[in-house]
Structures are given as structure tokens and as C-alpha cells.
Amino acid sequence: MRLPEREYDSNPTSPHFHHRANSSSLSPSPKANGHRSRGPVAKVELPGATIYDDSYIDREEYIRLVIQSLRDIGYIESAATLEAESGYVMETSRVADFRRCILEGAWREAEEALEHLGVAEDDGLWEAKFLISQQKYLEYLETGKTTKALHVLRNELAPLHMDPEQLQPLSSLVMCSDAADLRQKAGWDGAHGSSRRRLLVNLQSYIPSSLMIPPRRFVTLLDQARLRQISQCVYHNAPLTSRHFSLYADHACDTDLFPRITTAILQVHGDEVWSLEWSHNGKFLASASKDKSVIIWSVGLNRNPDISLHQHLQDHPFAVGCLAWSLDDTILLSSSEQYIKMWNTETGICIRTIEAHTETVSALAWVPDGSGFISGSQDRKINLWGSDGKLRDSWGITAIRITDLAVTPDFTRLVAVGESAKDPVLPTPRGDSVTAPNTNRNGNNGNNPTPNGARTQEHLMIVYDLTTKQPELSVSLGGQLTSVKISSDSQYALVNHAPDEIHLWDLFTGRLARKYTGQRQGRHIIRSCFGGVDGNFVVSGSEDGNVYIWHRDRAILLDVLTGHGSGSVNSVAWNPRNAQMFASCSDDFTIRLWEPSSGLAHRTADVQSHESEPGGKGKGKSREPWVEDDPASRSL
């Protein structure tokens, strides 16, 4: 807003409404910020209306935002000097008065000021008044002035004809026992908290932004620019800190910091390795194998730490398919056909063996609050267990033979994938279905129907409401669905879909958001995952023995990582505490750790290979590490 020769413009609602500040408003007080006044500042006249001849940025808007930013960070005298020198002011006296009225609780003056600030009925005048009256009502209740609060409810809030669903919760607050109870039930922090400032932010949307600049507007624009640069950096894998971003240059991550080099090969399992799971603290990696064992590896978070075999859990009757760490990492779950085992991760002792399913347990997931876990099986059952291993609840018989499931981090949904059949599934004592298709390795169901064609296959993703256990969404897809992972913000489900696709489903809209292609998956279970500092990568193994990495939002294939031997790369897992490390496991009996090439040094190993003796007792034998042809890799 430029300072014209006249003291005050007669049209305060104009987007270019100006007023002339007097000398006292332009020259800082001698006491301001502890500085002495420098006297009147000469106004600078510049040609044109933009900040540069070839720029589209309006000079007035730019200067007003700079003034706002200077005030926000404490440079009050500099802001006043810039107002005087440029002839623009951040906001008019009426806007400043309105801001003061809200922050001081002068409600009647604030309501009157709304119309003077250009807020008309069509622009949401009644909604804005409702917000002010609601704040007034809550503050009266907070101070125990119930009669005045009821007067506001009946004579100010109710006549605004707002949605009754808004009024009912407000009226029930009259019954609150005290101020603390009121604040808890209303989700409101009181007159002396931040509620008035939040009210001012909410009212901002009803007032023309040319009059009342949104708070921290310059910082908002810079954040938007930074997020735009991040979205264009397909290898972005750096945290949002000042150390990784500068206003002096556009952001671009160094590709040498992207994990694409094998830094260790863990080679102790005696057969195909099917599944991997990192502990929540990122210090341990669990691997499950066809050799009927689980290994817990100690990896650590530091760059190039020693790797050691922490526990070798061998007491499984069959090959091990699934793993799940408890929230505090003290318990590891493993599944072996219809059995679930609970292990003490420190001692390696089996706490409990659970046999409640009649067919292969194909999915295990701890609930986000750590109170228990959920199991899913090809017997179509989903069970909820307590952290003590006792059954707490069950979904009963579901619509699908479950291949995998996951719980959203916000604890609202369960997403399950699998195969349905129109005819009933009749379990045998061994847990095999008399109508089940051929079973491939990894517990994967084949695609061949029974010879008489009685079985009709349908592959479904079902999203359940965790509270009601009722399906919110059921999607029928053409190929087998072998795994599901949920993004950290609970919005996306990542589903491996055979043949040769990975799908990203938006759980908020119920729509397919992305497809990732290039990897090979036809008959084996492949488990993909999200990765990176913001979960902005999708990583998957493949039946061609490679690891594939895509940019999540742009679906660009970034890398195809080679190194594993023949057979499928069955599972990948990104370290939750180290954004520059992930692991992969393969039919070649090995696990590989992948990290950036920048600053790479060899890892060292202290690994004991435990080979089974008759009777199931292990015998320790040291295995010396060896170096691959790639000098940056180390095998254990």
C-alpha cells in the first residue's frame, strides 16, 4: 500500500486502499529496540511497477511482504525505515485495529470491523461472525460466566443458522465441570493459549489478502519454492534442515549419496531367503528363510559399523515366511506354515508358539500402539492377538485367502490382499484346501484352476475399517497380489501385482494413483516397500535377480541394481532410521546391504554360522568374510 498525499482514502475496501502515515509512524521512536531515532527518511521514487524491468513481480506486494518479514523476525526499525523509504505500509490502521481487537478479545469492535474490511455476506460474513462468537462463547465458559455464554449461544450463534451439527457439540460444553474439562472436550487451549491467534488465521480467509496479508507469507512462498525443487529432484533423500538447503542456489541431491552400492553380503542362510524386516530402531535386521530359520543381524546406524549375527532362531518346523517386530523391538514374530512363534530378541528364546490358523500364516503386523498384533492366513481368517500372544478378536471368515495385510499408521484401517473363490474352501487336517490351486514355493498360489473349472479366482484388495471390521473398499484386480505396504502418512497402499506391476493406491480417494513397471514378477511372492527420508522411493525385487527403484510420485525408474545371483530377489526393506541404507534378499541364499558410494569404506563382520545338529541343537562355526570383485562390497 503506497502512502499517498492524502491522509486517508475514502474507499477502504479497494485492493489498492492507501493511507499516509504521519511522521511518527515512519520514524522509529528513540526507545524502539534500544536504538536512537535517525530522523525522517527520504522517500525513494522508482520507475515502473515491478521490481525489475523484466519481472512480473509487483513492487508494492514485494515490499509489503519484506516489511512483514522484517517485523516478524524482530527488525522493527528496519521495517519502519523501509515503509518510509518506499512509501508502502504493510497494513492500514483499520487492519491493525482489527488484529488488536481479536488478540485482546474486543469482540463487538472486531465484528464491526469485518464489514469495514470488505467482508460481505457473499464472502462469508456470517461464517466469520460465527467464528468470533464461538470464541467469545468458549471464553465465557472458561471463566465461569455461564449466563453470558448461554446468551451468546441463543442470541448470536443460533440466529446465524449454521449447521445444527456445529451447535449441538457447543451447547453440550455447558455441562463441563471446570475449565480444564472444557479445554479437553472442545480441543481448545483457552484464551491465554494460542486460540485467539488461530482464530485470526481462520478469519484471514474471509478478508481480502491485499488488505490483510496472510501470516508469514514470505516464508510460505519460500517453503513452496523449496517443495517444488524437491519434487523436481528425483534422487532427493535429504532431511528438511538448513544444512541441506540454501536460498543461494536451487536444491539438487548428489546422486553419489543415493544407496546403489552393495556394502555387505550376509551369507549364512542355507537356502532361499524369503523375507526381511528392520527393527524400529534400525539397529537390527531380521531375515526369514526356506532353511527353517530366522537370523537377527546386528547392523547399527553409524556409517560402516561392524555387522554381527545377533541371534539364529532355528526352532521352526517348516520354512519361515513372515516377520514382524514389536513396537519396542523386544519381540519378533515369525510364521512357519500355520504356526506363529514369538521370540525374545535379546535372548533368542521362543516365548510362545501359536497355532490358531488351519492354513499358512501369510501376514503378520503389529498394531501401531504396540498393544498386540494381527495375523492373516490363507484360511481366510484375520485374528487380533494381544502382546502376550492370547487371542483378543477375530474377523471371522473373510472374502479372500490372504496373501498379505498391513495396518495404517493412524490406526484406522487394515488393508488386505489375496485371492477369493466363489466355492467354499474346505480345509484338511494339514490345512490344504481341497479346491486350492497348486502351491508354489514361498507359499504362493498358482494360477491353474481345478480341471473341472469349478474354482473361479478373483484377486482383491480389501480396505477394512479397524473399528467396525467392515470393508470400506474392495477392488478386484486381474492378477495376483502378493504384498502390501502402507505409507507413513497412511494415505497410500503399495501393492505388488503380478504380472510385472506394482500399484500405488490412494486410500483417501479409493483410486489407483500410480503404476510402476519394469521388474519381473509372474509366479513368486515379491515384497516391495517405500524408502527414503520422505518415503519418496518405491523399491522392489524381481524374478530376474535385480532390485528396482522408482521415484514414488513421478513413477520414474531410477535404478536397476545388479549383484544377486540367479533366482528371485524376494523382499526388500529400507532402514527406518538410516535413509541411505536398505537391504534385499534372494533365492541365492544371501542378503545384501545397499548404501551410497560417497565416502564408502569396507564393513567388517563378526558372524557365527549356526548349523543344525541332530536334535535341533546348533553348533557354532566362524565364517571368515571375503571380498567380492567389487572392492566396495564385503561378504559375511
> Each residue of 292-324: pLDDT tens digit?
999 999 997 765 567 999 999 998 999 999 999
Asked if pLDDT for residue 157 goes beyond 50, the answer is yes
Q: Residue 1's pLDDT band (boundaries 50, 70, 90)?
A: low
- 561 and 625 share a domain? yes
Q: Residue 626's pLDDT band (boundaries 50, 70, 90)?
A: very low
- 104 and 133 share a domain? yes
Q: According to the model, what pLDDT value does residue 600 have?
A: 53
Asked if pLDDT for residue 25 goes beyond 70, the answer is no
Q: Residue 257's pLDDT band (boundaries 50, 70, 90)?
A: confident
Asked if pLDDT for residue 604 goes beyond 80, the answer is no
- 156 and 239 share a domain? no
Q: According to the model, what pLDDT value does residue 102 have?
A: 94
What does the pLDDT average to over 587-597?
95
Residue 335 lies in a domain: no
Domains of the chain: total: 4
| Rounded-to-integer distance, Cα 360 and Cα 404, Å | 11
Which of 155, 187, 213 terminates a domain? The answer is 213
Nearest one of 122, 140, 235, 209 to 179, comparing CA atoms: 140
Task: Compute the chain's Rg from CA coordinates.
Answer: 32
| Rounded-to-integer distance, Cα 51 and Cα 69, Å | 17
CB-based burial label for 541 (10 Å; 0-12, 13-18, 19+) = buried
| Rounded-to-integer distance, Cα 306 and Cα 299, Å | 7
29-43, 269-283, 304-318, 394-408: which has the minimum mean pLDDT?
A: 29-43
Which of 157, 192, 213 terminates a domain? The answer is 213
For residue 154 the three cell numbers come to: 441463543
Q: Are 337 and 361 in contact (CB under 8 A)?
A: yes
- 112 and 208 share a domain? yes
Q: According to the model, what pLDDT value does residue 162 have?
A: 64
| Rounded-to-integer distance, Cα 513 and Cα 517, Å | 14
- 102 and 191 share a domain? yes
Q: Are 303 and 342 in contact (CB under 8 A)?
A: no
For residue 454 the three cell numbers come to: 469349478
What does the pLDDT average to over 525-547?
95
Residue 377 lies in a domain: no
pTM (2 d.p.): 0.74
Q: Residue 23's pLDDT band (boundaries 50, 70, 90)?
A: very low
Asked if pLDDT for residue 613 goes beyond 80, the answer is no
3-state secondary structure of 481: strand
Q: According to the model, what pLDDT value does residue 314 have?
A: 93
- 149 and 247 share a domain? no
- 82 and 32 share a domain? yes
- 99 and 192 share a domain? yes
| Rounded-to-integer distance, Cα 595 and Cα 271, Å | 25
127-136, 164-173, 592-601: which has the minimum mean pLDDT?
A: 592-601
- 556 and 586 share a domain? yes
DSSP string, 116-152: HTT--GGGTHHHHHHHHHHHHHHHHHHTT-HHHHHHH
Residue 437 lies in a domain: no
| Rounded-to-integer distance, Cα 549 and Cα 48, Å | 50
Q: Are 311 and 298 in contact (CB under 8 A)?
A: no
Q: According to the model, what pLDDT value does residue 616 have?
A: 34
For residue 540 the three cell numbers come to: 522392489
- 553 and 627 share a domain? yes
Residue 511 lies in a domain: no
3-state secondary structure of 206: coil
Parent domain of 35? 1-90
> Each residue of 44-57: pLDDT tens digit?
988 889 999 999 99
Residue 34 lies in a domain: yes
- 185 and 80 share a domain? no
What does the pLDDT average to over 563-587?
95
- 533 and 627 share a domain? yes
Q: Are 444 and 524 in contact (CB under 8 A)?
A: yes
Cis peptide bond N-terminal to 429, omega within 30: no
Residue 193 lies in a domain: yes
> What average pLDDT does the structure give for the chain?
83
Which of 68, 90, 112 terminates a domain? The answer is 90
Residue 3 lies in a domain: yes
What does the pLDDT average to over 358-371?
95
Residue 64 lies in a domain: yes
Q: According to the model, what pLDDT value does residue 545 have?
A: 96
